[in-house]
Structure 1
Amino acid sequence: MSSNNEQSKIGGDAKYYQGGTKETAGQALGNEQMQAEGAARKNEGNTESNASKNSSKDTLKDKANNLVGGAKETIGSAIGSENLQAQGQERKNKV
């Protein structure tokens, strides 16, 4: 099953290519309105696709911070290092 971010990226890419096709057709036909509509659709798709990519990166960063922070916290607890435990808690709070 695909995630919402993946669906947004696919939808954004589809809009980008649809817009590019319409823009090119408008250029070939000398139709400025069609060309402008295509350019707008292309820009909309690019924006949607990029937003999806950034959202995915943020989610991965959050998961990494939680994982590394939890590991530091656990190791700090096991070896009796309050400093390492505090570092782990701080890293987890970046989420």
Structure 2
Amino acid sequence: MSSTGKYYQGGAKETAGQALGNQQMQAEGAARKQQGNAESQATNNSTKDSLRDKANTYIGGAKETIGSAIGSEQMQAEGRERKNNNI
């Protein structure tokens, strides 16, 4: 089940537990909701990291190439470092 599905399923179970006065159901729902939220956050962070790494690779490569074209060893080194270390 997707993280979003877990979040909404947990919310529904938590609400049902509240309505029925069932503390166990309410706690299980809250836990499931929290699990879905945590998984969603982890996915978002992973996507951001991946995009950042790709951007650093492309930008570093471009900077390295431009540095080579204009004869700037410093620019080449900075580009190479950014590309290889994803900084």
Normalised to the residue count of structure 1, the TM-score between the two structures is 0.87
Matched residue count: 86
Equivalent residue number for residue 52 of structure 2: 61
> Match of 1:71?
62
Asked if residue 92 in structure 1 is aligned to residue 83 in structure 2, the reply is: yes
1:12-91 equivalent positions in 2, closer than 5 A: 12-91=3-82
Find the aligned partners of 1:83 and 1:94 in 2 and give their Cα distance. Answer: 16
Q: What's the CA shift for 1:94?
A: 2.4
Dislocated runs of 4+, deviation >2 Å = none
> 2:2, 2:80 → 1: CA distance?
38
Equivalent pairs: percent with the same residue?
71
Q: What do the CA deviations read for 1:57-81 (whole angstroms, capped 9, x no partner)?
A: 0000000000100000000111111
Q: Which runs of 5+ in 2 are unaligned?
A: none
TM-score (norm 2): 0.95
